[in-house]
Amino acid sequence: MKVLIVGAKGQLGRGLIAMAPAEADITSHDIDTLDITDAAAVDALVQAVKPQIVFNAAAYTAVDKAESEEALAEAVNAIAVGHLAGATKAAGAQFVHVSTDFVFDGLSGVPYPPDAPTGPVSAYGRTKLAGERAAGEGALIVRTAWVYAPTGGNFVRTMLRVMAERPEVRVVADQIGTPTYAPGLAAALWKMAAAGASGLPHYTDAGACSWYDFAVAIQEEALAAGLLETAVPVIPIAASDYPTPAKRPHFSVLDKTSTFTILGGPTPHWRANLRKMIEEIKHHG
């Protein structure tokens, strides 16, 4: 089975490679070897590889910078998705694209099902929603949230660093979502692709928390594993106390009920996967 993975050096791309089934013959590219905004380059690559599946794990994810670089975010998150989707369709292959909870407005009090009305409140969210539309009918478009992994830049690694360096940390407590462990997301994408799934399923770990709750759990797990020597106060703050260029949804928990049918059961709880990552860092750095 020939597979093309785009965005291969990111958290999810690395996870897709690590979790690949034995029969997968993988060709992988990142920004240093493929400009996905170049339609001709994308077409040439897909024609050369002749994949059965194309995973798009590439994205412009600098949420705050996107407010001043929306054209660039649009090029990567939407226009390039159209290039990849078109080339994949022409090759008769399956296109798997990853989207985000940021396509929602964050005003709901209950988890968002896949068919809930969208209403992004940031440039990043707008460009990711445009990317969903560019992926087209027949694609598998999986919305996820708060992705982290043992490597790369993410909230968990940032918290581990600042908790070791500062006498206290202040973390937003009124934004609610669900952390998602990248290797688990990658395994789910492989499983959904193998099942021939399409449409807009949601995938995150189970449960919900605020960024503050997440930070407290990170410190507890890191102390238990010996990654941190001393506990520091974790102080809850309002999002209004930590202004950012981009507005973020206050509540972006995703309803995964339909996804359970595809995967054959519920996803792991976010706290269990956090513990797994902390152990991974402890043993492998």
Structure tokens at 224: 């238990």
Map residue 94 onto helix, strand or coil. strand
187 dihedral zone (left: phi>0; alpha: psi -120 to 50; beta):
alpha
Identify the active-site residue in 124, 148, 181, 212. 124
Structure tokens at 34: 């493929």
Are residues 100 and 77 in contact, defined by beta-carbon separation less than 8 angstroms? Answer: no
Name the β-bridge partners of 171.
236
For the chain, the farthest-separated pair of C-alpha atoms sits apart, in whole angstroms, at 56
Helix (H), strand (E), coil (C) string for 104-115: CCCCCCCCECCC
CA distance 160 to 222: 8
User: Which ranges constitute the DSSP H helices of 4-122?
Assistant: 11-18, 39-49, 70-74, 80-90
Q: Is 124 a catalytic residue?
A: yes
Residues 6 or more apart whose Cβ sits within 8 Å of residue 162 = 169
CA distance 26 to 4: 6
Only one residue has tokens 């989707």, namely: 85
Q: What is the helix (H) or strand (E) element at residue 231, kind and residue range?
A: none
Which residues in 119-151 are b (16+ Cβ under 10 Å) and which e? ebbbbbbbbbbbbbebbbeebbbbbbbbbbbbb
Structure tokens at 88: 């994949």
Catalytic residues: 124
